[in-house]
Amino acid sequence: MESRDPRERDLSAFLRAGAGATFVWGEIDCSLFMADWCRKTRGVDPAASLRGRYRTALGAMRHVRRLGGFEAMARKLMAGCGFATTDAPRPGDVGLVEHPVVGPVFAVRCRIGWAVKSPEGIAVDQYPTVVAWSV
């Protein structure tokens, strides 16, 4: 049964499109996927300063290290765009979660868990939340 909530319908469409999009570092990876959702729903891009600045996993990690690690980077970028943290993320909110294999990744909250853009498409699971923001 499809949701009557327009935000959840938009989120479903966004996740479906993301599942079919090719993973490309610096264009559509976990952080830019999450930031694209923020840009679509709030009109602000928390990853604007990172777009086009890396093309590989190593390049992405250089930015993460330069900005103090995943959590420090995420908090700085999200706060800079006016996003408030939440302890109770709802569908459509975003977060930094702990993936059991790759470590910290950026995600979008959906009804059944956290959705993460990966090279295989979209992975959804109950990943532990490091920090989340209301969108």
**Interatomic CA distance for residues 105 and 14, integer angstroms:** 18
Residue at 1 is within a domain: no
Report the relative pairing of strands 103-110 and 94-99 from DSSP bridges: antiparallel
| Residue-number span of the structural domain to which 34 is assigned | 6-133
Residue at 70 is within a domain: yes
**Interatomic CA distance for residues 48 and 11, integer angstroms:** 21
What predicted TM-score, i.e. pTM, was given to this entire model? 0.91
> Would you say 99 and 2 are in contact if contact means Cβ atoms under 8 Å apart?
no
**Interatomic CA distance for residues 125 and 133, integer angstroms:** 18
Q: What is the mean pLDDT of residues 20-32?
A: 94
Percentage of the chain lying above the pLDDT 90 cut: 92
Domain of 58, CATH number, reads: 3.90.1720
| Model pLDDT for residues 40-75, shown as the tens digit of each residue | 999 999 999 999 999 999 999 999 999 999 999 999
Q: What is the mean pLDDT of residues 88-113?
A: 96
Residue at 22 is within a domain: yes
Count up the domains in the chain and report the number. 1
Q: How confident is the model at residue 4 (pLDDT cuts 50, 70, 90)?
A: low
